Structure 1
Amino acid sequence: MSSLQGGYSLTHIAAGIAVVALLMLGVGFYAIYQELASLRSQVEGLNTRYEEISESLEEVQGAFESSRGDIESIASSLESIQDRVSKIEERLGSAATQSDLDAVARELASLTQQLEDLQARIQALEESGAEAGERLDQLAMALQDLQARLASLEERVDEVYASLYFPVTVVDGTGTPVVLLERPERIVSMAPSATETLYYVGALDRVVGVDQYSDFPPELNEAKEAGEVEVIGGYWNPSIEAILSLEPDLVVGVASVPNHIQVKKVLSAYGIPVILLPDNSLEDVRESMMIVGKATGEVVGAYEAVLKFDMAVAAAGLLLEGVDPVETAVVVWPNPLFVVGGGTWEHEVIELAGGVNVYGDTQGWPQVSYESLLEADPDVIILMGGHSDGGVTVEGFIEALESQLGEAAREIDAVASRRIYVLLDEYNDSFARPSPRTVLSIYVLAVLIQPSAFDIQPGDLPSEVSPETLDVLGLLEGRVPEEVLEFLGEALG
């Protein structure tokens, strides 16, 4: 956090990252950026024209609504005139004096004038309707032209990618160079973190298959229910047959899963490119975005995602600057006891959130003894509870502690102060998956570990922590830039 001191603002940080990004991309990216900037300018012009057309349509609709009122008024007037004519006919039938005839004549003169006025209004309405019809025809033609021009622009963008990006070689998390001859159009993801990375760089619309645990963003679940995206098996054991049946031109997994490495070996023999993403640290999350961006032709989207990610991380550092770190243990599984150790992205999240990982001197996600937790004596314990039906509860964890440690369990500061929390649903997923969403978990853990930084007391926090029980984004309003809030909100779907 010391690197954020000395008056540097998020604007400076963002600008610095952008400059570094451009330098790294080099001349090739600059040419692409110029072409895309031109296309974006044209799209903005079309969007402006579309808005103008939409406003015109609203005006026409308003004119029709107004005309409807006039027509209803005319109909009402005609009914009134018809009624008055009937009365005149009755009076004519019983007219006996000159004064009665004079009164009838005056009434007829009045009706004649009203009918002339109504005729003029009807003629004006007919002319207005004809003009509105012509405007609608013109607008319809303009919209058709817009659609054709936008379709043409999309084709040009694809051509830019195809001509300037491909063929392309990427080096994945296993250190293996992978060659993609063309822009992939049928992508399969074998891991939730890979799926989420594809989404953030802008390639989700080309995904045709995912593992059973991929459930973000929400539109992915809709696509699965509609049969537009197939499930290719589990995270640990994807089905090679299911993957082959989808005829993919790119498969994405993670380098830490042995079966993903096996899939890579098998599919490579079929000539199918497979990239396995690094997934041990937050730096690996950044690198994964760039690997996926380059492999899918979404380099601009990847750089934008990395920039937003880094801004959100930097904002957390500024928010928690100067706090006293709190000793924290994160439990992956309560019985037997597995915890978050060093060398993991979760370890980095704990430290960025203002905590000190009491198991930071271990590696990975080791199984430890309950006695070690008593000896470590953390001030805060966070349980990874999965989803709401995962069965992990604070009460169950305390019972497990007491069954192993007896009364000594209550000597652990976190137990004594009831600062034990269960992460659930989106909050748990953002912490458990090394993807761009991970940045959300920094703020969630910060609220639990450093509640005073958000002007709340530990006793005000729920023991089960999910978006339904703790509004972290609400606590961040006015404390972080609006752009960061938007990025974090996206992580919630």
Structure 2
Amino acid sequence: MVRVRRLLFLPLLLVLPLTACAEREDDPAPEAAGSGDFPVELSPEGAPSVTLEQRPERIVSLSPSTTETLYAVGAGDQVVAVDEMSTAPEQAPRTDLSGLTPDPERIASHDPDLVIVESDTDGKLTESLAGTGTATLVLPAPQSLDAMYTQFELVGTATGHRQNGADLAEQTRSEIEKLVADTGDAGTELSYYHELDPSFYSVTSATFIGQVYDLFGLTNIADQGDPSAQGGYPQLSAERVLEADPDLVFLADTRCCGQDAETVAQRPGWDTLTAVREDGIVELDDDTASRWAPRITDFVDTVAESVSRAAA
């Protein structure tokens, strides 16, 4: 049930635990309370526009990616509750609220003036919360890195930290571009398999995650001629992976499912894979490798190091 729940959430948040070195807390420079030129109109891509009359002081985040971004732009003190899957940063006020099945009554019990969610397809949550005077900001999963940077800026604007949001977007963009440039064309002759769980669910180049790998020129064995098939999240087979013999295997199921280089090598026939024989099994942080949050630079850095090592 845990696996199914996680896979259902992946298309919404692009679906990838905290360690001191992995957690990104940039401690942005403080901005004056009330800054941001309120009222502001927010127009997120793929979601309704929202006007905020004043800076929100009680924010509920039901989006793990947005929770991380809120703290990164300096709005952490305004966050009063986050959903059960918002595992970072550690100090976020985590609750058992659900972003998958949001309960308006339980959300309202936190007395928010702004609620941020990833999806509200029927508009019922927005309508229910509007009755309590609470604004709802829907931030769907971005479809590209540029869309992610735009969301960083939007979160900054929505919370009265406009400059911090712009700085975060530029800093993240610059870090990623440098990592890619430093790696050069080392990945153009390499193939990879990205594993979401041990039943061989994967991602194609059509997904946000797949686009990160595309930056390095890697060939995705899950594309199979149609990257858009199965919504970009196909279930492969052991035979398919063995036949493709990828140079790199990226495991995004280390925490959820206990997978690592040793368990992969023990799978029937997998000891013959190039990735196994040549130390190309890469153990990822599930969350970092699935969220469009500032820590995505950690994921990109891991990919860059793995590509450089495999190409050496």
Residue equivalent to 1:90: none
Q: Distance in 2 between matches of 1:365 and 1:249?
A: 36
* Aligned partner (choices 259, 262, 273) of residue 135 of structure 2: 273
Q: Distance in 1 between matches of 2:303 and 2:159?
A: 33
Q: Do 1:354 and 1:450's aligned partners in 2 also have CA atoms closer than 8 Å?
A: no
Per-residue CA deviation, residues 16-37 of structure 1 (Å, 9 max, x unaligned), is: xxxxxxxxxxxxxxxxxxxxxx
- Share of identical aligned residues, percent? 29
Q: Distance in 2 between matches of 1:330 and 1:265?
A: 39
Shift, 1:262, TM fit: 4.9
Q: Do 1:173 and 1:276's aligned partners in 2 also have CA atoms closer than 8 Å?
A: no
Instruction: Please show how residues 61-100 of structure 1 align to structure 2 within 5 Å.
Output: none
Residue equivalent to 1:422: 283
Shift, 1:240, TM fit: 2.4
Instruction: Please show how residues 87-236 of structure 1 align to structure 2 within 5 Å.
Output: 157-159=32-34, 161=35, 165-220=37-92, 229=93, 231-236=95-100
Shift, 1:195, TM fit: 0.2
| Aligned CA-pair RMSD | 2.7
Q: Distance in 2 between matches of 1:286 and 1:315?
A: 16
One-letter code of the match for 1:397?
A: V
Shift, 1:252, TM fit: 1.0
* Aligned partner (choices 244, 249, 254) of residue 381 of structure 1: 249
Residue equivalent to 2:194: 330
Residue equivalent to 2:179: 316
Shift, 1:181, TM fit: 1.1
Shift, 1:452, TM fit: 6.3
Return 5+ residue gaps in structure 2 as ranges: 1-28
Q: For CA contacts below 8 A with separation 6 or more, give which structure has more relative contact order.
A: 2
Q: Secondary structure at the match of 1:218?
A: coil
Q: Do structure 1's residue 301 and structure 2's residue 164 form an aligned pair?
A: yes
Q: Do 1:332 and 1:365's aligned partners in 2 also have CA atoms closer than 8 Å?
A: no
* Aligned partner (choices 298, 308, 311) of residue 450 of structure 1: 308
Q: Do structure 1's residue 244 and structure 2's residue 108 form an aligned pair?
A: yes
Residue equivalent to 2:219: 356
Q: Distance in 2 between matches of 1:375 and 1:262?
A: 47
Q: Distance in 2 between matches of 1:353 and 1:329?
A: 14
Q: Secondary structure at the match of 1:179?
A: strand
Q: Do 1:353 and 1:442's aligned partners in 2 also have CA atoms closer than 8 Å?
A: no
Residue equivalent to 1:433: 291
Q: Distance in 1 between matches of 2:107 and 2:239?
A: 45
Q: Distance in 2 between matches of 1:303 and 1:242?
A: 33
Q: Distance in 2 between matches of 1:411 and 1:209?
A: 48
Q: Secondary structure at the match of 1:392?
A: coil
Residue equivalent to 2:23: none
Residue equivalent to 1:35: none
Q: Do 2:193 and 2:222's aligned partners in 1 also have CA atoms closer than 8 Å?
A: yes
After the TM superposition, which segments of 4 or more aligned residues of structure 1 sit over 6 Å from their partners? none
Shift, 1:192, TM fit: 1.2
Residue equivalent to 2:263: 396
Q: Distance in 1 between matches of 2:81 and 2:279?
A: 43
Q: Do 2:186 and 2:216's aligned partners in 1 also have CA atoms closer than 8 Å?
A: no
* Aligned partner (choices 247, 253, 273) of residue 412 of structure 1: 273
Q: Distance in 2 between matches of 1:211 and 1:175?
A: 20
Q: Secondary structure at the match of 1:429?
A: coil
Q: Do 1:278 and 1:288's aligned partners in 2 also have CA atoms closer than 8 Å?
A: no
Shift, 1:376, TM fit: 2.5
Do the aligned partners of residues 440 and 276 (structure 1) sit closer, same or farther apart at CA in structure 2, a change above 3 Å counting? same
One-letter code of the match for 1:266?
A: S
Q: Distance in 2 between matches of 1:171 and 1:275?
A: 9
Return 5+ residue gaps in structure 1 as ranges: 1-39, 44-153, 221-228, 458-493
Shift, 1:356, TM fit: 2.5
Q: Do 2:187 and 2:216's aligned partners in 1 also have CA atoms closer than 8 Å?
A: no
Residue equivalent to 2:208: 345
Q: Secondary structure at the match of 1:329?
A: strand
Q: Secondary structure at the match of 2:87?
A: coil
One-letter code of the match for 2:308?
A: Q
Shift, 1:328, TM fit: 0.8
Structure whose residues are more often helix by fraction: 1
Shift, 1:273, TM fit: 1.3
Do the aligned partners of residues 376 and 262 (structure 1) sit closer, same or farther apart at CA in structure 2, a change above 3 Å counting? farther
**Max Rg structure:** 1
Shift, 1:411, TM fit: 4.7
Q: Secondary structure at the match of 1:275?
A: strand
Do the aligned partners of residues 214 and 230 (structure 1) sit closer, same or farther apart at CA in structure 2, a change above 3 Å counting? closer
Q: Do 1:386 and 1:429's aligned partners in 2 also have CA atoms closer than 8 Å?
A: no
One-letter code of the match for 1:438?
A: I
Q: Distance in 2 between matches of 1:322 and 1:422?
A: 23
Q: Do 2:192 and 2:249's aligned partners in 1 also have CA atoms closer than 8 Å?
A: yes
Q: Distance in 2 between matches of 1:254 and 1:343?
A: 19
TM-score, normalised to structure 1, is: 0.51
Shift, 1:329, TM fit: 0.8
Q: Do 2:84 and 2:94's aligned partners in 1 also have CA atoms closer than 8 Å?
A: no
